[in-house]
Amino acid sequence: MDDRGQLKWFLGIDFQHQPDGSYCMSQERYVNAILSKFNMTDCNPAATPTDTNTRLLTASAEKQENNQDTQFPYCQAAGCFIYLMTGTRPDISWTVSKLSQFLEKPNTTYVQATKRLLHYLKGTKHYILKYSAKPKDELTMFTDSDWTSDIEDRRLASGYLTTLGTAPISWNTCKQATVVLSSCEVEYLGLTDAVKETLYLRNILGALGKTLNGKTPVYCDNQGTIALASNTSSQQSHETY
């Protein structure tokens, strides 16, 4: 091993060491490379990663055959988005998860949604993650779920984001395998994944010698789910395992 000084570049991610001891992570160079790869360098920026009025559905065989955008390297674009999302961009997590569900037969709408995301990246390529030198040992989890967005198989999408201090350290968006019958069930499944991730991160931080300040708050916006989780926790606290 040899000491090469301050970390500046690692696997497509720029690291900048600030005078106050904090570190900034950025993938601006990687975004520029993506835009150049798909001939979108001079595109106009977009304010959001996806258009809320666009409904992404599976194309029929006839429409797929007549698709004029079949030559667009959709799978390559999705792969680039996944790496970017995993590294420093939790803001595109839901969009990338949605686009990744149709890698085999992307229709024209999905190609347009991919280009829309490239427009968004053009305007937000300067986004960074900043981690302070001495973050407060406060682990916080946020979770949410979407019950009605997929009208084809009715399987929900859920996601979570975890922060340590003020910066995100873990995030995920996925499509659940279970079809549920109420918004409470939707949020409860999402909350389950979030709590599992919270316990995992607490164990890691404990192994690293971090002393967390009490319990980890998990934020959920469904009152039925909160009541159900609180009631379950209260019942279990009176049992011995």
Pairwise CA distance, residues 143 & 161, whole Å:
7
Report domain extents, the chain: 9-129, 135-236
**pLDDT per position as a tens digit, 69-100:** 557 888 899 999 999 999 999 999 988 988 88
What pLDDT does 103 receive?
Answer: 81
Pairwise CA distance, residues 94 & 237, whole Å:
35
Pairwise CA distance, residues 197 & 24, whole Å:
24
> What is the band of 145 on the pLDDT scale with cuts at 50, 70, 90?
confident
CATH level 3 topology of 135-236: Nucleotidyltransferase; domain 5 (3.30.420)
What pLDDT does 37 receive?
Answer: 92
What pLDDT does 238 receive?
Answer: 36
Q: Are 189 and 176 in contact (CB under 8 A)?
A: yes
Task: Classify residue 215 as exposed, middle or buried by CB count within 10 Å of its CB (0-12, 13-18, 19+).
Answer: exposed
Q: Is the predicted pLDDT of residue 125 greater than 60, yes or no? A: yes
Q: Are 22 and 7 in contact (CB under 8 A)?
A: no
> What is the band of 152 on the pLDDT scale with cuts at 50, 70, 90?
low
What pLDDT does 21 receive?
Answer: 79
Which residues have a Cβ under 8 Å from the Cβ of 79 and sit 6 or more positions away? Answer: none
Averaged pLDDT for residues 58-76: 62
Residue 171's beta-bridge partner residues? Answer: 161
Pairwise CA distance, residues 156 & 170, whole Å:
21
**pLDDT per position as a tens digit, 109-121:** 888 889 999 999 9
Q: Is the predicted pLDDT of residue 148 greater than 80, yes or no? A: no
Pairwise CA distance, residues 217 & 28, whole Å:
32
Helix spans in the chain (H): 28-37, 61-65, 74-87, 93-99, 108-124, 183-207, 223-236
What pLDDT does 70 receive?
Answer: 59
Pairwise CA distance, residues 205 & 209, whole Å:
6
What pLDDT does 154 receive?
Answer: 65
Averaged pLDDT for residues 209-230: 79
**pLDDT per position as a tens digit, 6-16:** 888 888 889 88
Highest mean predicted confidence (pLDDT) among 110-124, 162-176, 226-240: 110-124
> What is the band of 215 on the pLDDT scale with cuts at 50, 70, 90?
confident
Pairwise CA distance, residues 200 & 169, whole Å:
12
- The pLDDT > 90 percentage for the chain reads 21
Closest CA to 141 of 183, 111, 175, 171: 171
Averaged pLDDT for residues 224-231: 79
What CA–CA distances, in Å, run from 159 to 7, 93, 154, 155?
31, 9, 16, 13
The pTM (predicted TM-score) of the whole model is 0.80
